Amino acid sequence: MGSVTATVAPPTGSNVILWFRTFGAIAGSGFRRYATYRQAALAGAVTNTVFGFLRCYVLLAVAGAAGSAAGYDREQLATFVWAGQGLLAVVLFWGWTDLADRIRTGEVASDLLRPVHPVTSYLATDLGRAAWACLPRLLPPLAVGPIFFDVHLPTRWPTVPLFALSALLAVVISFGCRFLVNATAYWLDDVRGPQILWMLSSGVLAGLYFPLPFLPDGLYLALQLATPFPGLMQTPLDVLVERGPGAAQAGLVAVQAGWAAALLALCRLVQRRAERRLVVQGG
Amino acid sequence: MAEPAALPRQRPARRLRQRPPRRPRQPPGRLAAYRALLGAQVRSQTSYRTSFVVDLVGNLGGTVFDVFTVLVIFGVTRELGGFTVREALVVVGLSSAAFTTADLLVGNVERLPRYVRTGLFDAVLLRPLGALPQLLLMDLPLRKLSRAVFGVAVLAVAVGSAGIDWTPGRAALVVLAPLAGVVFFGSIFVATATVSFYWTESGELANSLTYGGKDFTSYPVTVFDGWFRAAFAYGMGFAFVSYQPALALLGRADPLGLPAWAGWAAPAVALVAAGLAAVAWRVGIRHYRSTGS
């Protein structure tokens, strides 16, 4: 009888324009969905700003009298902290359990009936969410930081578009990781274990708590080469503070792109394997 | 088919009615009710053993990484704000012992916004028990036990390796200061949670003072500067959780000029904070309006 998958085959004779239109429509609905929580976004921005002050003072104290730490000068450290606090909610490390909840309740069945691949539709929603988060979550810390601290402003024009691209790739990498963590619910009904593991590792290994070059060189290199974590935050921030020459930065963004593609492919693979064994609960 | 099933269900009910009251017992007191709530929590949380162990380990990891972050920072610099790593660890130890214990006992109150939003708080208010103790016991996070133990262990190691010149006063302070810190952080948890009585969608706002306070107290106050330091350290009193007691334990003069007795002021500051939190709670709960659902 051959293999039976739950996903309805997408319409063949792929129409690229149609695909983009669908993707755009789902992303737009993601944007509108998250745009309803305006007060929570304001509260979150205030919290990010308080943490911006906390972390900025600590890193400036690390730079101390010498004026630099691990190759970052004081202005670069300030930009690193404040842009990092802004990116946190855009990249979204924590608190996304939509897929795991839907798998547990069985609602995921309706995702499988749609003519859009689940990975694609969840990615589109997440990009819409990230686009909304840029307004109330990224901009306030970026605006408040320079008022109270001397920050590093980009001196090369390619930095800004490269940062935008790098931040976009960071969202995709973060989405891929979160999707995989959530997808463990297909096998384990309780995803708290993988969730906690992801929560712990993402904060420390992505460069949120301290710039990763603070770590011993070997460890930092291993993180860069063998894990997607620096691509979540360290790389876009390094691009923004112009650490190293432009070519090296483009190289780091290329590594990020590689991780993003690999993770999305892995998501699709995991999703296909999961659909083979999925038993929707509750009938 | 329905009738035979209905019969056995009636029987215990009849037996209950016929049974004479054995002993005229006193109505169970408040304490018994709280104990029952706590017991139910322990049983329900430990019934899924694997999940519980995973939670214990995960919560431990969070605090381990907090300490790891401080150590990484000291890997880059010799001293931070004029403090060596051994001295700074005393600050970290006092902060993490106080925060983790307060988070275990009171941190749960940060779920209040959800209770207010869903209207579950109505049920809490209807019961003939205090609202705050109920909230704390309703889902006391036993999984946070692991990190509280770790927090106290960090303090023990830090105090042991800092080369403290022990006097009876300092020995008393090393016990009193973390206890005062627990009361202080508990007050912050309660006071910030009351915001949700006025602003239901306040979301992460409370985190800026609870987890933000934890971050602030993990470093010597000299690290911070300007109005931000003035507001957090002295305006809200976070300096008295870890920094001032650490100075008193280490026998160092305060570079910021507070007298030596400031380290012993921690319990007084904690009591003031608890009083303010109690007022905030009482005022807040009067402002509670049910969602009506």
Task: Give the model confidence (pLDDT) of A2-11 as tens digits.
Answer: 555 556 555 5
pLDDT at A131 over 60: yes
Using DSSP's 3-state secondary structure scheme, residue B235 falls into helix
Asked if B65 and A55 come within 8 Å (Cβ–Cβ), the reply is: no
Q: Which of B95, B195, B204, B219 to mutate to test the interface with A (most CBs of A within 10 A)?
A: B204
Inspect the interface and report whether the beta carbons of B69 and A210 lie closer than 8 Å.
yes
pLDDT on residue B64 = 87
With CB atoms and an 8 Å threshold, state whether B219 touches A64. Answer: no
Compare CB distances from B76 to A43, A50, A70 and report the shortest one's residue: A70
For chain B, percent of residues with pLDDT exceeding 90:
41
Kindly report, residue by residue over B156-192, the tens digit of the pLDDT. 999 999 888 899 999 999 999 999 999 999 999 999 9
- A173: nearest Cα among A150, A216, A137, A202: A202
Provide the shortest C-alpha distance from residue B66 to chain A (in Å). Answer: 9
Nearest to A125 by CA among A32, A30, A60, A41: A30
* Gap between the terminal Cα atoms of chain B: 38
pLDDT range class, residue B2, cuts 50, 70, 90: very low
Nearest chain A CA: its distance from B91 CA (Å): 14
pLDDT, tens digit (0-9, with 9 covering 90-100), for B4-52:
444 444 444 444 455 555 555 556 677 888 888 888 888 888 888 887 8
Residue A29 burial class via C-beta count within 10 angstroms: exposed 0-12, middle 13-18, buried 19 and up: middle
> B208 contacts in A (CB within 8 Å)?
46-47, 50-51
Closest residue of chain B to A46, computed from CA coordinates: B205
Q: What's the pLDDT at B269?
A: 94
Residue with tokens 């800092």: B162
Cβ distance of A69 and B224 shorter than 8 Å: no
Task: Name the residue facing B77 among A46, A69, A215 (closest C-beta).
Answer: A69
For A204-216, the pLDDT digits (tens) are: 899 888 999 999 9
Residue extents of the structural domains in chain B:
33-286
Reading the block at residue B117, the tokens are: 């939003």
Residue B49 and residue B137 in contact, taking contact as beta carbons nearer than 8 Å: no
Print burial letters for B15-32: b (CB count within 10 Å at least 16), e (below 16): eeeeeeeeeeeeeeeeee
Work out the minimum CA distance from A209 to partner chain B, whole angstroms.
7
Of B59, B76, B223, the CB nearest to A69: B76
Residue B111 has pLDDT above 60, yes or no: yes
Q: What residues of chain B lie within 8 A of the CB of A190, using their CB?
A: 48, 50-51
The interface predicted TM-score (ipTM) is 0.84
End-to-end, the C-alpha distance of chain A in Å comes to 24
**A171: Cα separation from own chain's centroid:** 3
DSSP helix/strand/coil, A72: strand
Q: Who's near A15: CB < 8 A, 6+ residues apart?
A: none
The string of DSSP codes covering A214-255 is GS-HHHHHHHHHH-SGGGGTHHHHHHHTT-S-HHHHHHHHHH
B224 inside 8 A of chain A by CB = yes
